[in-house]
């Protein structure tokens, strides 16, 4: 029982860290522009693919289930920055080309554009000379040695690395947003862009910066995800949509637009998913159905509960939408 | 004849099909307090918004210290030396009083100057000094208005645009705010003041413009307008 508990805990932390990283991108963009960037999960998918392709470029690849070149360890320091760079840049391009021209348009138009961008990325990604339509295995970037064992649970390097890397990124973001000039400008823009411009804040550049940040985090999350779950699905796969959707729910549960809320929401969703899936094993006499098949249902269920009980999310303040 | 700080020349602004400003001409001399009075929807706030760059004029020009600024984005106009304390105060409710103040100096890089302006602004509004760490949204209306003015001063403007600083405030607070406006002016800041409270505004201003349906219908020394029969009837309730 303890073994199961610790295993679930570890899984939830790893997955939660990834959800939180993606959720931050949704919540930041919502904060400054007030719409849901549906293309965000595709940027995340492209992050994973960038990780895979850069690894291959560095000589790491997988043929018939075995790695052709053993990882030398330093590749990770090229692969993650590459994905961060590509996704940051991609997010910037999306913002400039698709969203910036619609700054004064009704929000619904922007929302529909976001769906359009998402479809575009998915379909371009499927082209044979881009990523193609077949899943590909992510080469190993680092060895995955056993770190320690508690209560029969073997804790290896990889999940720990995912958790630590995500934590470092989140702390970095927290510092950036709450303790720097850019962060202060970003929060000002999210509250009132007009007045922010009166302060001398270049609102357009702050919005661009927000997209770059969100994209960069999604890029990092993409590589970490591919390292943890090494079968990288094709860009239009349900996997990405579902992951993006759950991260979005995490952002909503935390209070959309709220940075800390997105982090907490990410972990909350992951805990629910993992412990929900293992519920049957925890209570073998009481729960007779297979709880693992419902693992995607729990987070949607909690979404409904939260929207009923605290529609502004756990950390959100409810604001009356002015017409 | 003293130097012209701001000139509006045949300024037109449209909100979609609504022709809000229909050829405004205005000359504002350095070191003066100029007030715009007029009824609701006359175009007073619109004029301020056009000057600070929140609105793009559809025709005409705005010259600040002889340079055209009507094509500049709002965040560049602040850097030229114009600060705007907007209608409704526009404070950032979830930021602390301190953060609001520091945002006023966003466009500046001179740490020393910012620090001394912060000290000066807080000396002007001692109430704010007591509440630096408080969320700005929890301030009273009067304190929020003080914060809006103090924040605008943090840009070290040569021209300060004030939009309805007395709105919704208790009479004593209004007195305080107007006393401070005069004090700011005495330190050399030119002030363009929009007010519903025409009596108050005319009593501290040097010059006044009366605006009606997007046009200047009268202008002159504030003292003269204060005794003008038509103005008294229309805007001074007498």
pTM: 0.90
Contact B54 A199 (CB under 8 A): no
Which residues of chain B lie closer than 8 angstroms to A194, CB-CB?
54, 74, 86, 90
- Kindly state whether residue A245 falls inside one of the protein's structural domains: yes
H helix or E strand, kind and range, residue B28: strand B18-29
Q: Return the H-helix or E-strand segment holding B47.
A: helix B44-52
Helix (H) or strand (E) holding A299: helix A297-309
d(CA A157, CA A146): 6
Q: Which of B86, B93, B108 sits opposite A198 (nearest CB)?
A: B86
Cβ within 8 Å of residue A280, ≥6 positions away: A287, A288, A289, A290, A291, A292
For the residues of A145-203, what is the DSSP string, one character each?
-EEEEETTEEEEHHHHHHHHHHHHHHHHHHHHHHHSHHHHHHHHHHH-HHHHHHTT--H
What residue numbers bound the domain in which A188 lies? 2-309
CB contact under 8 A, A188 and B107: no
Q: In this model, does residue B105 exceed pLDDT 80?
A: yes
Q: What pLDDT does A63 receive? A: 79
Residue A163 lies in a domain: yes
How many Cβ atoms from other residues are within 10 Å of residue A152's Cβ? 10
Which pair of structure tokens corresponds to residue A39?
């293309």
**HSE of A169, CA atoms in CB hemisphere, 13 A:** 29
Q: Give the contacts of B140 (CB within 8 A, at least 6 positions apart).
A: none
Stretch among A69-73, A263-267, B144-148, B225-229 having the lowest mean pLDDT = A69-73
Residue A257: pLDDT band (50, 70, 90) is: confident
Is A317 contained in some domain?
Answer: no
- Chain A residues in contact with B99 by the CB 8 A cut-off are 184
Is residue A121 predicted with pLDDT exceeding 80? yes
- Say if strands A231-232 and A136-137 run parallel, antiparallel, or are unpaired: antiparallel
Mean pLDDT of chain A: 91
Give yes or no for B81 touching A (CB within 8 A): no
Structure tokens at A26: 């949704």
Kindly report, residue by residue over A11-63, the tens digit of the pLDDT: 999 999 999 999 999 999 998 888 899 999 999 999 999 999 999 999 888 87
Assigned domain for A295 exists: yes
- State residue B238's pLDDT score: 58
pLDDT-derived band at A323 (thresholds 50, 70, 90) equals: very low
A322 occurs within a structural domain: no
Decide: A313 and A306 in contact? Cβ < 8 Å. yes
* Distance separating alpha carbons of residues B98 and A241, to the nearest angstrom: 42
Q: How far apart are CA A172 and CA A322, in angstroms?
A: 34
pLDDT at A318: 58
Q: What is the crossing angle of helices A259-277 and A238-254, to 10°? A: 120
Range A259-277 average pLDDT? 93
B99 contacts chain A (CB < 8 A): yes
The reply to whether A22 falls in a domain is yes
pLDDT of residue A16: 96
Which residues of chain B make contact with A195, given a CB cutoff of 8 A?
86, 90-92
ipTM score assigned to the predicted complex = 0.93
> In which residue are the tokens 């001179």 written?
B110
Residue A154 Rama label (left phi>0; alpha psi -120 to 50; beta): beta
* Gap between the Cα atoms of B212 and B21, Å rounded: 9
Tell me if B86 and A202 make a contact (CB, 8 A cut-off): no
C-alpha torsion sign, points A243, A245, A251, A253? negative
Euclidean distance between CA atoms A183 and A201, whole angstroms: 11
Taking Cα atoms as reference points, which of A124, A138, A125, A131 lies closest to residue A58? A138
Q: In angstroms, how far is CA A86 from the centroid of its own chain?
A: 15
pLDDT (0 to 100) of residue B175: 93
Find chain A residues with C-beta within 8 A of B95's C-beta: 184, 187-188, 191
Number of domains present in the structure of chain A: 1
**pLDDT at site A322:** 39
Using the predicted structure, report yes or no on whether residue B147 has a pLDDT greater than 70: yes
For residue A234, pLDDT beyond 50: yes
Q: What burial letters (b/e) apply to A272-291, b meaning 16+ CB within 10 Å?
A: bbbbbbbbbeeeeeeeeeeb
Distance between A190 CA and the closest CA of chain B, angstroms: 10
Q: Which residue has the higher pLDDT, A60 or A270?
A: A270
Q: Do A185 and B52 touch (CB under 8 A)?
A: no
What's the mean pLDDT in B182-198?
A: 94
- B106–A194: do the CB atoms touch at under 8 Å? no
Distance from CA of A182 to the nearest CA of B (A): 10
Q: What's the CA gap between B169 and B178, in Å, rounded?
A: 12
CATH number at residue A35: 1.10.3470
| Longest Cα–Cα distance in chain A | 64
pLDDT at B230: 84
Contacts of A187 in chain B (CB under 8 A): 92, 94-95
Burial B72-91, CB ≥16 within 10 A → b, else e? bebbebbebbbbbbbbebbb
- All residues of chain B having their beta carbon less than 8 Å from the beta carbon of residue A181 are 106
Residue A116 pLDDT greater than 50, yes or no? yes
Of A187, A192, A200, the CB nearest to B107: A200
Q: What residue in B sits closest to A192 (Cα-Cα)?
A: B92
- Is A314 contained in some domain? no
H helix intervals, A38-156: 40-57, 76-94, 107-125
Q: How far is A277 from chain B (nearest CA, A)?
A: 39
Condensed to tens digits (0 to 9), the pLDDT of residues B45-104 reads: 999 999 999 999 999 999 999 999 999 999 999 999 999 999 999 999 999 999 999 999
Structural domain contains residue A201: yes
């Amino acid at each position: 029982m303890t073994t199961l508990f610790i295993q679930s805990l570890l899984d939830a932390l790893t997955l939660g860290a990834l959800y939180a990283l993606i959720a931050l991108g949704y919540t930041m963009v919502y904060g400054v522009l007030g719409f849901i960037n549906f293309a965000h999960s595709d940027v995340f998918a492209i992050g994973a693919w960038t990780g895979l392709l850069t690894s291959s470029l560095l000589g790491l690849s997988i043929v018939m289930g075995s790695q052709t070149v053993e990882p030398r360890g330093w590749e990770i320091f090229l692969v993650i920055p590459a994905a961060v760079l590509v996704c940051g840049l991609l997010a910037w391009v999306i913002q400039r080309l698709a969203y910036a021209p619609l700054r004064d348009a009704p929000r619904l138009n922007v929302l529909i554009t976001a769906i359009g961008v998402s479809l575009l990325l998915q379909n371009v990604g499927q082209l044979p000379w881009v990523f193609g339509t077949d899943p590909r295995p992510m080469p190993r970037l680092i060895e995955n040695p056993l770190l320690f064992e508690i209560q029969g649970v073997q804790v290896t390097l990889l999940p720990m690395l995912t958790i630590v890397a995500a934590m470092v990124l989140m702390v970095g973001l927290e510092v950036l947003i709450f303790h720097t000039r850019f962060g202060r400008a970003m929060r000002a823009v999210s509250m009132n862009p007009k007045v922010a411009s009166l302060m001398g804040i270049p609102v357009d550049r702050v919005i661009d910066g927000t997209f770059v940040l969100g994209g960069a985090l999604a890029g990092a999350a993409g590589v970490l995800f591919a390292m943890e779950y090494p079968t990288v699905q094709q860009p239009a796969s349900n996997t990405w949509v579902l992951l993006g959707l759950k991260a979005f729910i995490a952002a909503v549960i935390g209070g959309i637009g709220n940075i800390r809320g997105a982090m907490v929401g990410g972990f909350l969703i992951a805990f629910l998913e993992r412990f929900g899936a293992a519920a049957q094993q925890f209570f073998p006499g009481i729960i007779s159905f297979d709880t693992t098949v419902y693992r995607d249902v729990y987070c949607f269920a909690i979404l409904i509960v939260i929207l009923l009980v605290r529609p502004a999310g756990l950390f959100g303040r409810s604001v009356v939408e002015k017409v | 004849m003293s130097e012209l700080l701001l000139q509006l020349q045949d300024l037109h602004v449209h909100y979609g099909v609504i022709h809000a400003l229909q050829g405004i001409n205005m000359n504002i001399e350095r070191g003066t307090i100029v007030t715009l009075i007029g009824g609701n929807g006359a175009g007073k706030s619109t004029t301020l918004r056009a000057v600070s760059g929140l609105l793009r004029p559809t025709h005409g020009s705005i010259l600040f210290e002889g340079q055209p600024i009507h094509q500049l984005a709002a965040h560049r106009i602040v850097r030229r030396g114009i600060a705007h304390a907007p209608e409704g105060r526009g404070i950032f409710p979830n930021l602390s009083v301190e953060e609001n103040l520091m945002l006023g100096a966003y466009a500046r890089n001179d740490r020393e100057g910012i620090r001394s302006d912060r000290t000066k602004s807080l000396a002007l509004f001692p109430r704010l000094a007591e509440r630096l760490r408080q969320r700005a949204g929890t301030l009273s209306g009067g304190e929020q208005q003080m914060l809006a003015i103090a924040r605008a001063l943090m840009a070290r403007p040569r021209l300060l645009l004030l939009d309805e600083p007395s709105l919704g405030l208790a009479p004593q607070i209004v007195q305080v705010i107007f006393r401070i406006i005069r004090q700011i002016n005495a330190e050399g800041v030119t002030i363009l003041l929009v007010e519903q409270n025409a009596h108050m505004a005319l009593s501290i201003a040097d010059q006044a413009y009366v605006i009606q349906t997007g046009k200047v219908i009268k202008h002159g020394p504030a003292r003269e307008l204060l005794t003008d029969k038509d103005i008294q009837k229309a805007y001074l309730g007498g």
